[in-house]
Amino acid sequence: MLKTSICGVKLENPTVLASGIMGVSGASLVNVSKNGAGAVTTKSIGLEERKGHPGPIMITTKHYGMNAVGLSNQGIKLSMPEVVYAIKNSRSPVIASIFARKVSEFGVLSKEISKTNPALIEANISCPNVEAEFGKPFATDPDAARDVTKEVVKNTKIPVIVKLSPNVANIAKIAKIVQKAGASTINAINTAGPGLAIDIRTKLPILSNKTGGISGPAIKPIAVKAVYDIYDSVKIPIIGTGGVISGEDAVEMMMAGASAVGIGTGVYYRGIDVFKKVSDEIKVFMKKEGYSNLKELIGAAHNV
Amino acid sequence: MCEDKQENPIVLDVAEVVDEGKDLKTFRFDIELNASPGQFIMLWLPGVNLKPFSISYQDQKSFGVTVSGIGEFTNKLMKVKKGDKLGIQGPYGTSFSEKGKNVCLVGGGCGSAPMAFLAEELMKKGKNVSFIIGANTKQGLMFLNRFKGKKMKLIACTDDGSFGYKGFATQALEKELEKKKFDIVYTCGPEIMMAKVVEIAEKNKICCEVSMERYMKCGFGICGQCVVDPLGIRICKEGSVLDKQTVKKITEFNKYKRGPCGKKQKFSYC
């Protein structure tokens, strides 16, 4: 009932662990897959090791999460065995997320990570938390988004997901450019904003990076709108990410046009078994409303 | 499902700073925390960093954490004075079960911090408490005055013999076990010590609970930095207190831990 697929990769259910959460090690990804995720995504992997930003790196309220972890990772060489371990032991497909400072580095990473044979590669071109070092995210510039996508695709035979930023004037236009450049799937959206929270007793920004990407319930309408618009402008599948906490949220995202839903901050709100909970809730909804196949939901809001 | 959810440092004035030994300080805050022994808070030194610390003291209206100045962050904390502002988040993590009537606590170095809080709670519940508190040397022994004359057995030991029993806390534990039967051993300290405690508990067929430490960033189970191999569980969420059976399944226990970038770092003695 919950089966879905992303460019040929079969998922038992549409919940996908979003990149950046619980993706530090292979064992962690396996644990998430045991908790019901239809697919799991590694934390973004770069060329060299990075410690990330000092703490606090994340705060939450009942409405949103705000984080600036700063792309900490152990570098491609040491990350590869973790990805291999995850692929070997995970019940669900593994998506390898990569990030880089330069277009050419994306090519190197794409080539290297392909040796581990992940189900999909996700190019993270939309992290909002390293601007001071990296400059504006590639996803905010149509030409840069195109160049990076081409470079990643050129260096692998594995289907490529491109993760887009909501912090642009027209995300559907960028999606179309990225599709033309060879992307097999769009993941929308990365965190929004970025935002800023100030501690009023010390007068200091709380996050050490000052600003952070906003996630969680508050950004769901932004994500749903982005997916809705992208669905109209591309033919490739979409992973809808942003504020999916419940089965109802997931259904809404799929009706907007998502073939699968990314879940990150939901791990905080509902626990590590959020994937199983969301899947069960989707099933309950489908039974109640008389749906028998996820395909009936995907893009349904466009056909009324 | 999102109601009442919030993880955000609350900035408090430090109510008191207590010298506990060489580069060992307890910071007390006037706030009702309602923590259980073994739990930790994330402590924010504004503008610097945020790190986890076990709760070492708690009463009706205040609590404390005891910090050892051993690194960049904790050395900066050593300069914090009464009235300075620090942020706290939590309490987080699992706690000791507090089961058993005859209980033995083994604390090593700064690991004695949560054990002291546990010892006081267990005494309140009328348990027979033996508290083995170990350190390299006398200056590293904390809470000796705090437990002086209390209805419990305090066994202080130092590696160099500068105070109390000369030898490791684990040797003191073996000696105690020759004399007395315990229902459970609770421990916190260096992993090499805790591994030995687990081994001794195993040999003596008694329960054992361990408070583990791993590099943490968020503290509330989302960043995934503190996951352990091969279980993939989070020390901040499914831990930091784990029972012996779980610890035995953690293959990295007493072998390596992951640093801020996720890279495995072997313990120096491995």
pLDDT tens per residue, range B56-71: 999 999 999 999 999 9
Examine residue A50 and state whether it is found in any structural domain, yes or no: no
Same domain, B185 and B110: yes
Domain of residue B170 covers 96-211
How many Å lie between the alpha carbon of B35 and the closest alpha carbon of chain A?
Answer: 20
A27 and B47 in contact by Cβ < 8 A? Answer: no
The mean pLDDT of A92-101, rounded to a whole number, is 97
The reply to whether residue A62 touches residue B47, judged by beta carbons under 8 angstroms, is no
Structure tokens at B226: 């503190």
Q: Give the Cα-Cα-Cα angle A245, A248, A254 (nearest 5 degrees).
A: 95
Q: Report the SS3 class of residue A97.
A: strand
- Tell me which chain B residue has its CA closest to the CA of residue A42: B224
Mean pLDDT for chain B?
Answer: 96
* Residue A143 CB neighbour total at 10 angstroms: 9
The pLDDT of residue A303: 84
Find where tokens 């060992």 sit: B24
Beta bridge partners of B198: none
* pLDDT(B225) > 80: yes
Q: Of the candidates B211, B238, B260, which is a domain's last residue?
A: B211
Higher pLDDT residue, A262 or A128?
A262
Catalytically annotated residues of A: 127
Is B2 among the domain residues? no
The overall average pLDDT reported for chain A is 97
* pLDDT, mean of residues B106-134: 97
Question: Could you tell me if B186 and B209 are in contact, meaning their C-beta atoms sit under 8 angstroms apart?
Answer: yes
CA distance A146 to chain B (A): 29
Domain identity same for B100 and B207: yes
Q: Could you give the percent of chain A with pLDDT greater than 70?
A: 100
Among B179, B211, B243, the domain boundary falls at: B211
Q: Which residues on B lie below 8 Å from A37 (Cβ)?
A: none
**B190 Cβ contact list (under 8 Å, min separation 6):** B108, B109, B111
Give the position of tokens 């033996």. Answer: B130
Please write the tens of the pLDDT for every residue from B38-55. Answer: 999 999 999 999 999 999
With a cut of 90, say whether residue A129 has pLDDT above it. Answer: no
- What is the reported pLDDT for A225? 98
The structural domain count of chain B equals 3
Give the per-residue pLDDT at B269: 78
B125 shares its domain with B143: yes
Q: How far apart are CA A116 and CA A58, in angstroms?
A: 31
| Residue type, position B31, single letter | I
For residue B5, the distance in angstroms to the closest alpha carbon of chain A comes to: 5
Q: In this model, does residue A278 exceed pLDDT 80? A: yes
Q: pLDDT band at A191, cuts 50/70/90? A: very high
> Do B203 and B217 belong together in one domain?
no
Residue B1 lies in a domain: no
Total domains present in chain A: 1
Residue type, B35: A
B103 and B199 co-located in one domain: yes
Q: Does A218 map to a domain?
A: yes
Give A60's contacts in chain B (Cβ within 8 Å): 5-8, 220
Please tell me the predicted confidence (pLDDT) of residue B4.
Answer: 82
B14 pLDDT higher than 90? yes
Length of chain A, in residues: 304
**Does the pLDDT at position B259 exceed 80?**
yes
pLDDT tens for each residue of A218-253:
999 999 999 999 999 999 999 999 999 999 999 999
> Is B105 in the same domain as B184?
yes
Which of the four pLDDT bands, split at 50, 70 and 90, describes residue B138?
Answer: very high
Residue of B51, B231, B260 lying closest to A72 (CB–CB): B260
Interface contact flag, B9 A199, Cβ < 8 Å: yes
Examine the pLDDT at B20 and tell me if it is beyond 90.
yes
In this prediction, residues A116-126 reach a mean pLDDT of: 97
- Give B-chain residues touching A266 at CB under 8 angstroms: none
Instruction: Answer whether residue B142 is part of any domain.
Output: yes
The residues, any chain, with a CB within 8 Å of residue A218's CB and separated by 6 or more, are A63, A64, A243
Q: CATH number of the domain at A260, please.
A: 3.20.20.70
What pLDDT is stored for residue A132 in this prediction?
A: 82
| Contact criterion met (CB < 8 Å) for B227 and A27 | yes
* Contact status, residue B180 vs residue B130, Cβ threshold 8 Å: yes
Residue B26 pLDDT = 98
List the CATH number of the domain containing B183: 3.40.50.80
Indicate whether B192 and B221 sit together in one domain: no
H or E element in which residue B10 lies: strand B10-13
Nearest to B91 by CA among B125, B116, B57, B123: B57
What is the mean pLDDT of the segment spanning B128-152?
A: 95
Give the ipTM. 0.95
For residue A289, what are the domain limits?
A: 4-45+71-193+214-302
Nearest CA to B33 out of B42, B45, B44, B20 is that of B42
Q: Is the pLDDT of residue B3 over 80?
A: no
pLDDT at A6: 95
